[in-house]
Amino acid sequence: MQTAPILIGALIALIAACVGALVILFGQWLTRRSEERRHLRQLIVQAAVENWRLASNAAEKAGARRYPLDAFILHLLKLGEVLETRPLTADRVRAKLREAHEIDRAIFPEIEKFTDELKKPTP
């Protein structure tokens, strides 16, 4: 039975090739997923900047308070999480909106406090 060692060697080579292919496919999937997430974050930041610019211009014209860019970025980053949830349902969208509004409730008082501290004269 000299064919048995040959078959075992061929089987081992086939298994090694399959494992190697799976590792490569997994690596490519991770890379693609990472690139998609990075692109999504870039779009979110660009949208936040544009939203901030429009809101700041409108606030300036109305003589209202202008909020910093980071508040807009944090808000939209939280809302951007809804794009990654599967399946996308109304309940999940509502939940992410509530989370984004909670972040807003935390951000804006801190902004007000920081702004007031900046207005105080330094000793």
| 40-74 pLDDT per residue, tens | 999 999 999 999 999 999 999 998 888 888 889 98
C-beta separation of 52 from 72 below 8 A: yes
Locate all alpha helices (DSSP H) within 63-89, ordered by sequence: 69-80
Alpha-carbon distances of 52 from 64, 100, 109, 118, 122, rounded to whole Å: 14, 16, 18, 21, 30
Task: Give the domain extent around 90.
Answer: 3-119
Domain count for the chain: 1
What's the pTM? 0.69
Q: How far apart (Å, rounded) are the C-alpha atoms in residues 96 and 85? A: 10
28: tokens are: 């490519």
Q: pLDDT tens for residues 63-119?
A: 888 888 888 998 898 888 888 778 888 998 898 889 989 988 888 888 888 878 877
Residue among 51, 87, 88 at smallest CA distance from 67: 51
What's the alpha-carbon Rg for the chain, to the nearest Å? 26
